[in-house]
Amino acid sequence: MRHFITTADLTRESALGLFRLAADLKQGWKAGKRTVPLAARTLALIFEKPSLRTRVTFEVGIVQLGGRAVYLQGSEIGLGTRESVPDVARNLSRWVDGIAARVHAHATVETMARVATIPVINALSDFEHPCQALADFFTLWERGVDFTRTTVAWIGDGNNVCHSVILLGAMLGAKVRVACPPGFEPDPAVQAEVSRLGPSLLVTEDPREAATGADVLYTDVWISMGQEAERERRLEAFGRYQVNETIVGFARPNALVMHCLPAHRGEEVTDAVLDGPQSIVLDQAENRLHAQKAVILQLLGGGADDA
């Protein structure tokens, strides 16, 4: 893996390898093991969108590995305006060891990866969020979840996070269900790939159908950054897709509830569910750090041998 732009850059085996590496890094850090396999390495962080989890976990992650981060706002460097995306990628390739980019258009990270001579990581685009999905399934893996016996139900918007979650879930052998209002389904090409990879894919308009007997319930905001003008239309469309105690009741008794955060409490999820005993959202958030450290080490340092 030279870049990490899409979940499709992974295989089942490479994903499991990253889980093992992430677990080693996590356990080592908690045990007080302070190694610096990426000493003097530098990671450029290009952010067109603001973030709490993504910025902190990438910045802290490279520091914990012994390197440094350089934070660059998209407007600050004039990405795509003052300078073309290829020119930015070519220049950064002369100065830093890797790029993590949180952008609007997926084509931006694709262009960077095509032009850059250093690894490029997709830290979120409008089409995928592969780092989030990697952290999510690492969170399930460290709990001992057997993916081949697991049903993951996504309830809500078939958005970028949904794309990455259902792709990686299918790749790992899980059954995948998606409940969305009409017109908000995952991209048809993603659905086709999930169907090719996995044992089953169900796309339905009925959230109860998706939730019934599921082992994992996953939701995300209905109104993402840049969609504020669609707020009223989306609230109306998604009204019956809230993950609440009723919906959770249709899943298996010990089903896990996931959310990539930030959450719009009272919209896509209730406080009782988000803060309840079945919620693992803070484990997901913590594991963004460790999963991304594994990706950074794999790309910039050659993998587990450097740990």
Q: Which residues are annotated as catalytic? A: 102, 129, 132, 220, 260, 288
Q: Torsion angle, CA of 260/215/151/188, rounded to 10 degrees?
A: -30
Contact 291, 25 (CB under 8 A): no
Cβ neighbours of residue 279 closer than 8 Å, sequence gap 6 or more: 256, 257, 258, 259, 273
46 Ramachandran zone, left/alpha/beta (phi>0; psi -120 to 50):
beta
Residue 290 neighbours by CB distance under 10 Å? 26
Contact 133, 161 (CB under 8 A): yes
Beta-strand (E) ranges in the chain? 42-47, 68-73, 98-102, 120-124, 151-155, 175-179, 201-204, 216-219, 256-259
Return the half-sphere exposure (C-beta side, CA atoms, 13 A cut-off) of residue 117: 8
Which 3 state secondary structure label does DSSP give 151?
strand
d(CA 168, CA 218): 14
